[in-house]
Structure 1
């Protein structure tokens, strides 16, 4: 298991230059769901980041077999110590019970060196598989957290970017 995942954001020109300068890396380019102009590059190698301004995530746990060429979901949240224990138990239960249909892998991450900022990254066959699972009253961010006015969370969804210079 890799210890770190790095991402960066930019336009096609910037991401193409990064890829050209680092042909030894399998750098993946995604676009935000329904936003062709919002591009993200992901490096799952676990090696020293090659990005000038990387967003780094430390890997806490991983389950499944990665399939990076499909849909990916990010669910980020700030958790206090007690919430972390409950959240980790929920993620461990999901991992041990087997991943949902259409999900290939799940990563439990924290924002680099900040254990309170948690991120769940899932690799899926498709957005529709994710939606079926989520609409079945499943989601990574528990409702009781979401209902708290002091709770911060953010979700982002990405699909492989249309083939351009960068990818």
Structure 2
């Protein structure tokens, strides 16, 4: 298993050129679902980063078969030590019991060297499968966390970018 996933953000032209400059990497380009002009390049190779402004995620655990050419979700949570233990147990239970319908793989990540910042990366068939699971299940983010004013979470959703040919 790779130890890291690395991403970077930028405009479509720059990221397309960066992807083309590294054909030896399976760099995946995505477009933000909520912001059509925002693009992200993801490197899941585990090799040294080729990005000038990389965001590193350390992989804590992984389950499933990756499907990088579909919808992906990032859910970021800021957890104290006790919340981390509960959250890790929930993720392990999810991994053990089988992934939800439409989910191909799940990664439990943390921002590089910051274990309190947890990120759950999921690869999905589509947004509808993710939304159905998120809204019908308390196994992901427990209600007591969601309802707490002291709990921070952020979600970001991406679909594969339809890249244009560079000239």
Aligned residues: 166
Give distance in 2, aligned partners of 1:3 and 1:66.
Answer: 15
Structure 1: stretches of 5+ with no match in the other structure: none
Give distance in 2, aligned partners of 1:6 and 1:27.
Answer: 10
Q: Is the 2:34–2:157 Cα contact (8 Å) retained in structure 1? A: no
Structure 2: stretches of 5+ with no match in the other structure: none
The corresponding residue for 1:105 is 105
The corresponding residue for 2:14 is 14
Q: Is the 2:28–2:43 Cα contact (8 Å) retained in structure 1? A: yes
Partner-residue secondary structure (3-state), 1:133 = helix
The corresponding residue for 2:152 is 152
Give distance in 2, aligned partners of 1:138 and 1:23.
Answer: 41
Give distance in 2, aligned partners of 1:165 and 1:153.
Answer: 36
Q: Alpha-carbon deviations, 1:73-105, whole Å to 9, x = none?
A: 110011111000000000000000000011000
Residue 25 (str. 1) matches residue 25 (str. 2): yes
The corresponding residue for 2:70 is 70
Q: Is the 1:71–1:158 Cα contact (8 Å) retained in structure 2? A: yes
Alignment root-mean-square deviation, CA: 1.3
Relative to the length of structure 2, the TM-score reads: 0.95
